Chains A and B, each alone.
Chain A
Amino acid sequence: MQALLKFFSSLRLTVVLLALSLVLIFFGTLDQVEFGIWETQKRYFESFLVVWSYPLQAPAGTSLQWLKIPLPGGYLLGGFLLVNLLAAHATRFKLTWKKSGLFCIHLGLILLLISELLTDIVSEESQIAIDEGGKNNYSETVLENELVFIDRSQNDFDTVHTISTNLLKKGKRIAIPDSSLSVRALRYYPNSKIARAPEDSRGAPLNRTIANKGIVERMDLQVVEQAMDYSQEAINTATAYIEVFDANDTSIGIWLVSNVIDDRFPKQTIETDSESLEVALRFKRYYHPFTVELIDFTHEKYPGTDIPFNFSSEVFVNDLDQNIKQKALIYMNHPLRYGGLTFYQASFANEDKTSILQVVRNPGWLLPYISVLLMGLGMSFQFGMHFIKFSRKAKH
């Protein structure tokens, strides 16, 4: 036990862990070229173990492809660092004036590690697109998809049931809430290409889909699976074949759903004697208890160039519950914080007529600020003391 504690509290372990973090971050930067930021973040920093392999595109890629390096992931290293730090404080450190700076730094570090973990787990990012003069009450993220069933039978509201695509992948039967139906994914493609099915010499379509209801009744479509595209701006075409069963477990048909079969196409519905449900696979949405109305979007450039000088969105926030109407100007480095969410100017479209705001929910956003304060103070104190001591010595 004593030996174990000694191991976990040793400075040697600290140095080894820091060195491994250095290596992890290095490879986690390199791999962004191939897998983009989001995927790399998941693989390297939100994981326990990761294997780096020599990239094919790099020089001598084909002959060095066998080269693979296993590395401890971010959670593992972060966890060990945390244990190391706590153990060291439990055994070696005594809180004295001289060491109070170190305590501050370490406390700040602990807080930072925790806040990073918290952010990984609970933060949500999405985007809200609003046309000038228009409003919107939901934001969506193109990185995730959801299967939705919408009941539009009520006059003043719709009921939306969502099923995460994570569940679709397993091919299990899932009951649709508030209805007698259930659904099962026959196939799920995280990325695919949907096109009209090619015709053979007699004009009959080849490679038809396995679906038999909905959009395929009007168009001959085929689905070709594609590798996931991880590049920065890429949007993957998630597609699924879903089979729907009635209360007696009899199949009532197979539908083709995809995030490219969106509002531009006629709605697909599941009709039984007693109910009618709209079905779609779409980007994951977050509904908010307020609407954001875009009054004006401005995009200024430096004279005679395309270099942007400023983007800004003038918005009204209408809270549906509390009857609050609030006006705000969102521009670079000046987000709007409202209802636990933060709205940032992210992008624009539609010849400067549509503003796209990044919507972030991160309940732990304040923690880094506190930890920064602690670490900055601690370091200034610690090194300031060193420096004073040193300059006194140097004078003598």
Chain B
Amino acid sequence: MKAFIYILVALVTLSTLFRQFSAERIDSEFDKQGFSELPVQVGGRIKPLDSVARNTLLILSGKQTVIAPDGSKLSAIEWFIDLCMRPEIADTYRVFKIEFPDELGLEGLAEKSKRYFSFNDLQPYFSELQTVYQNIETEPQKRSAYERQIAEIYDGLILYNNTLQSLHPTGNSERLDRLIDEYQSFETLIVTGLKAIREQQAGQEYDTEALNSFIGYADSYLKLSQTARLRIIPPDQNNQAEFLSDWKNIGLELLDAIKGNPLSPSVKQYAQLTMAYRSDDPETFNQGITTLKASFKQHYPKAYSRAQFERWFNGFKPFALSIQLYIFAFILLLISWLKWSIPLNRSAFWIIFITFLIHTFGLLARMYIQGRPPVTNLYSSAVFVGWGAVFLGIVIERFYKNGIGGAMASLIGFATLIIAHHLAMTGDTLEMMRAVLDSNFWLATHVVIITLGYSAMFLAGALAIAFIFMGIFSKKFSKEDARSLANMVYGITCFAALFSLVGTILGGIWADQSWGRFWGWDPKENGALMIVIMGAIVLHARWGGICKDRGIMNLAICGNIITAWSWFGTNLLGVGLHSYGFTDSGFFSMLLFIISQLWVIGMSFLPWSYWRSAYGRNQLSKSR
């Protein structure tokens, strides 16, 4: 039986791993994978087109894949290729997610589809949208839910349009099919066109045709330089530092040709790709990719290898994999308390351990890509809180080996990664740091330590919830089990108090270094202080014997509420300055979480006679 369980668990784990690795194969004669590795500069950093495609699609539709009208599933990069190279087709893909289309007041829109709309679906409403958009509240924080939705659609359309124009000018399909000709005629026109302008200004006779077509091009490229979103043209190789130098977007590069700068070869190479793709010529397409890749590899080896790694990382999705494995381990541990306790317990521990390694790898990979300590924004804090909790859980599990620490750790790992997944909807999670936060030393010390404090508080709180549930429902839960669980909560709370205090104080020192005040009572600081105080309350209540086990457990659960408030609540305040952000979905999730915690606390006040565990019966006889 034992062996059978081990084999079964191993098989499920392996198949999960295998499914993850084989999930994103692009079957195409075109080297789309090679295309997705090409580096571009956007949002102040260099990243592969793959990341651009994924993040753009996430912002528009909340997903990383598109279902084409014919029912086939496209990956983000395939969508992106169609968007840039075959916009007439991409315009029919339903990529705009509108949560409540019937509340927009746009007649007939709601009937078109359920929640996902294509560019063509929205086109009839452009002028109406524009008028509405111009009349809504300008300060994003004060917008109503309706205004926010309007702004989201409007911004989405702009993003779509600007992304579409990233690789070359757009227009009708005829123009796209003749891009190389266009560039060539533009290059030859520069000399004659400029000459014509000079002659015109001097009042001499001039070549009208040359002048008009030259101005036509220049005008179109000027517009392009303002809208094209991605910076695809790297600076000259002999240009100083890689990091802060400006890449150019396609429009700027074309305009600079007027000044006499030779066009970068990439311009024509990208045009070649589009023409090859449109004329269904994989050979030329793949050759173009090889040339572009080789040139990046030669001139920007570092940026290119990072971009290549990032693309691979995007496809690997370590956190999505961890989500599945954590929940699997959690379920195994739940079953282990009913039956087959030893084999399930052991295999769950090893699954948690392996998942922890994958989770750690994900963190390290992000650190490598970004060149920063692990926590730089809310998204990465969610990833890190889970990591810290799982780490502590594994440590407790080594000592107690009863599965409770592991179960709660995997539950927190699962929950925080789900939260991170939702936070990723806003786009690039590897965004650049604002100047004030640009300090690797403080990011690595203050932020990391305080986030570990969150991990510990949540783990203590989760263990306390386990205590209440097992005390009420599990007949096997004995007095000794209760004592060891209470000790776990105590130990983890000590850890939480230490880390929160040290982290908070380090934050104070950082504030003293950057703003000249150690403490400013700002919401985030206050939140951190509340965690420290909560930890202090738990510890003092225990030392003073003021609360018995049940009381300490309830305090630890309160710790969950306080930590959630400190982590997210204070951000909600910032978002909804004046409006309190009450309409935010974040607020409702927060409220739900708080209610759930209060519900557990309420349950713990059930009279001892309702507690089915040995521990409960023991308490009952004591109280009589």
List B residues 7-43 near A (Cβ within 8 Å).
41-43
Residues of A within 8 A of B126 (CB): none
Query: Distance (Å) between the CB of B479 and the closest chain A CB?
Result: 18
**Cβ of B521 and Cβ of A333 under 8 Å apart?**
no
Residues of A within 8 A of B520 (CB): 37, 41
CA of A310 to CA of B44 in the docked complex: distance in angstroms?
A: 13
Cβ-defined partner of B494 (8 Å) among A11, A45, A123, A386: A386
**A237 near B: Cβ within 8 Å?**
no
**B439 near A: Cβ within 8 Å?**
yes
**Cβ of B526 and Cβ of A28 under 8 Å apart?**
yes
**Cβ of B505 and Cβ of A302 under 8 Å apart?**
no
CA of A26 to CA of B245 in the docked complex: distance in angstroms?
A: 45
Residues of B within 8 A of A360 (CB): 516-517
Residues of B within 8 A of A287 (CB): none
**Cβ of A12 and Cβ of B432 under 8 Å apart?**
no
**Cβ of A15 and Cβ of B541 under 8 Å apart?**
yes
Residues of B within 8 A of A12 (CB): 544, 546
Selecting from B278-286, B467-475, B575-583, the interface stretch reads B575-583
Residues of B within 8 A of A203 (CB): none
**Cβ of A57 and Cβ of B505 under 8 Å apart?**
no
Query: Distance (Å) between the CB of A190 and the closest chain B CB?
Result: 21
List B residues 326-372 near A (Cβ within 8 Å).
none
**Cβ of B546 and Cβ of A11 under 8 Å apart?**
yes
List B residues 550-599 near A (Cβ within 8 Å).
562, 565, 570, 573, 576-580, 582
**B236 near A: Cβ within 8 Å?**
no
**Cβ of B573 and Cβ of A32 under 8 Å apart?**
yes
Report which residue of A25, A44, A55, A116 has the largest number of chain B beta carbons within 10 angstroms of its beta carbon: A25
CA of A332 to CA of B534 in the docked complex: distance in angstroms?
A: 32
Residues of A within 8 A of B505 (CB): 368, 372, 375-376
Query: Distance (Å) between the CB of B332 and the closest chain A CB?
Result: 24
**B529 near A: Cβ within 8 Å?**
yes
Residues of A within 8 A of B523 (CB): 29, 32
**A338 near B: Cβ within 8 Å?**
no
**A236 near B: Cβ within 8 Å?**
no
A-B contact count, CB below 8 Å? Answer: 176
For B423-461 the 0/1 string (1 means CB < 8 A from A) is 000000001101110110010000000000000000000
Query: Distance (Å) between the CB of A202 and the closest chain B CB?
Result: 39
A309 with B432, Cβ < 8 A, contacts A18-B533, A25-B526 known: yes
**B4 near A: Cβ within 8 Å?**
no
For A321-345 the 0/1 string (1 means CB < 8 A from B) is 0000000000011110000001010
**Contact residues of B: prevailing secondary structure:** helix
**Cβ of A58 and Cβ of B580 under 8 Å apart?**
yes
A45 with B521, Cβ < 8 A, contacts A375-B505, A386-B491 known: yes
Selecting from B87-95, B495-503, B600-608, the interface stretch reads B495-503
CA of A301 to CA of B189 in the docked complex: distance in angstroms?
A: 36
CA of A44 to CA of B523 in the docked complex: distance in angstroms?
A: 13
Residues of B within 8 A of A375 (CB): 501-502, 505
**Cβ of A41 and Cβ of B434 under 8 Å apart?**
no
Closest chain B residue, CB of each to CB of A115: B518
Interface residues of A (CB under 8 A from B): 10-12, 14-15, 18-19, 21-22, 25-26, 28-30, 32-34, 37, 40-41, 44-45, 55, 57-59, 115-116, 119, 123, 125, 300-305, 307-311, 332-335, 342, 344, 346, 358, 360, 362, 365, 368-369, 372, 375-376, 379-380, 383, 386-387, 390-391, 394
For B597-623 the 0/1 string (1 means CB < 8 A from A) is 000000000000000000000000000
**B519 near A: Cβ within 8 Å?**
yes
Query: Distance (Å) between the CB of B164 and the closest chain A CB?
Result: 18
CA of A394 to CA of B487 in the docked complex: distance in angstroms?
A: 12
Cβ-defined partner of B45 (8 Å) among A19, A115, A302, A334: A302
**B205 near A: Cβ within 8 Å?**
no
Residues of A within 8 A of B231 (CB): 303-304
For B478-511 the 0/1 string (1 means CB < 8 A from A) is 0000000001000100110110011001101110
Cβ-defined partner of A19 (8 Å) among B537, B570, B577, B582: B537
Cβ-defined partner of B533 (8 Å) among A25, A344, A369: A25
CA of A386 to CA of B526 in the docked complex: distance in angstroms?
A: 29
Closest chain A residue, CB of each to CB of B244: A303
CA of A371 to CA of B513 in the docked complex: distance in angstroms?
A: 16
Number of chain B interface residues as a range? 35 or more
Closest chain B residue, CB of each to CB of A55: B580
Cβ-defined partner of A333 (8 Å) among B439, B502, B522, B526: B439
**Cβ of A304 and Cβ of B42 under 8 Å apart?**
yes
Residues of B within 8 A of A32 (CB): 521-523, 573
List B residues 154-213 near A (Cβ within 8 Å).
none
> Could you name 15 residue pairs across A and B whose Cβ atoms are closer than 8 Å?
A11-B541, A11-B543, A11-B544, A22-B530, A57-B580, A58-B580, A303-B41, A303-B246, A304-B246, A309-B432, A334-B513, A369-B509, A376-B502, A386-B494, A394-B400
Residues of B within 8 A of A346 (CB): 515
Report which residue of A19, A22, A346 has the largest number of chain B beta carbons within 10 angstroms of its beta carbon: A22
Residues of B within 8 A of A15 (CB): 537, 540-541, 544, 546
Residues of A within 8 A of B513 (CB): 333-335
Query: Distance (Å) between the CB of A277 and the closest chain B CB?
Result: 35
Cβ-defined partner of A311 (8 Å) among B43, B44, B435, B506: B435
Residues of A within 8 A of B546 (CB): 11-12, 15
Cβ-defined partner of A29 (8 Å) among B247, B498, B526, B582: B526
CA of A329 to CA of B533 in the docked complex: distance in angstroms?
A: 39
Report which residue of B526, B544, B577 has the largest number of chain A beta carbons within 10 angstroms of its beta carbon: B526
Residues of A within 8 A of B519 (CB): 116, 119, 368
CA of A11 to CA of B544 in the docked complex: distance in angstroms?
A: 6
Residues of A within 8 A of B48 (CB): none
CA of A368 to CA of B510 in the docked complex: distance in angstroms?
A: 12
CA of A383 to CA of B565 in the docked complex: distance in angstroms?
A: 26
CA of A301 to CA of B565 in the docked complex: distance in angstroms?
A: 33
Query: Distance (Å) between the CB of B399 and the closest chain A CB?
Result: 5
Query: Distance (Å) between the CB of A317 and the closest chain B CB?
Result: 17
CA of A33 to CA of B231 in the docked complex: distance in angstroms?
A: 39
**B103 near A: Cβ within 8 Å?**
no
Report which residue of A30, A33, A57, A390 has the largest number of chain B beta carbons within 10 angstroms of its beta carbon: A33
A25 with B530, Cβ < 8 A, contacts A15-B540, A304-B41 known: yes
**Cβ of A11 and Cβ of B501 under 8 Å apart?**
no
Closest chain A residue, CB of each to CB of B521: A41
**B514 near A: Cβ within 8 Å?**
yes
Cβ-defined partner of B530 (8 Å) among A26, A119, A332: A26
**B536 near A: Cβ within 8 Å?**
yes
CA of A26 to CA of B558 in the docked complex: distance in angstroms?
A: 14
**Cβ of B502 and Cβ of A119 under 8 Å apart?**
no
**Cβ of B540 and Cβ of A11 under 8 Å apart?**
yes
Closest chain B residue, CB of each to CB of A367: B518
**Cβ of A29 and Cβ of B432 under 8 Å apart?**
no
**Cβ of B497 and Cβ of A57 under 8 Å apart?**
no
Residues of A within 8 A of B403 (CB): none
**B512 near A: Cβ within 8 Å?**
yes
CA of A99 to CA of B520 in the docked complex: distance in angstroms?
A: 32
Closest chain B residue, CB of each to CB of A30: B573
Residues of A within 8 A of B41 (CB): 303-304
CA of A30 to CA of B570 in the docked complex: distance in angstroms?
A: 9
A332 with B508, Cβ < 8 A, contacts A11-B540, A28-B526, A29-B523 known: no
**B373 near A: Cβ within 8 Å?**
no
**B527 near A: Cβ within 8 Å?**
yes
Cβ-defined partner of A25 (8 Å) among B508, B518, B529, B578: B529
Residues of B within 8 A of A14 (CB): 540, 544
Residues of A within 8 A of B582 (CB): 58-59
Closest chain A residue, CB of each to CB of B573: A33
**Cβ of B399 and Cβ of A394 under 8 Å apart?**
yes
CA of A308 to CA of B434 in the docked complex: distance in angstroms?
A: 6
CA of A29 to CA of B438 in the docked complex: distance in angstroms?
A: 26
Closest 7 A/B residue pairs (Cβ) = A302-B44, A11-B544, A360-B516, A308-B435, A305-B44, A372-B505, A303-B246
CA of A341 to CA of B50 in the docked complex: distance in angstroms?
A: 50
Query: Distance (Å) between the CB of B463 and the closest chain A CB?
Result: 15
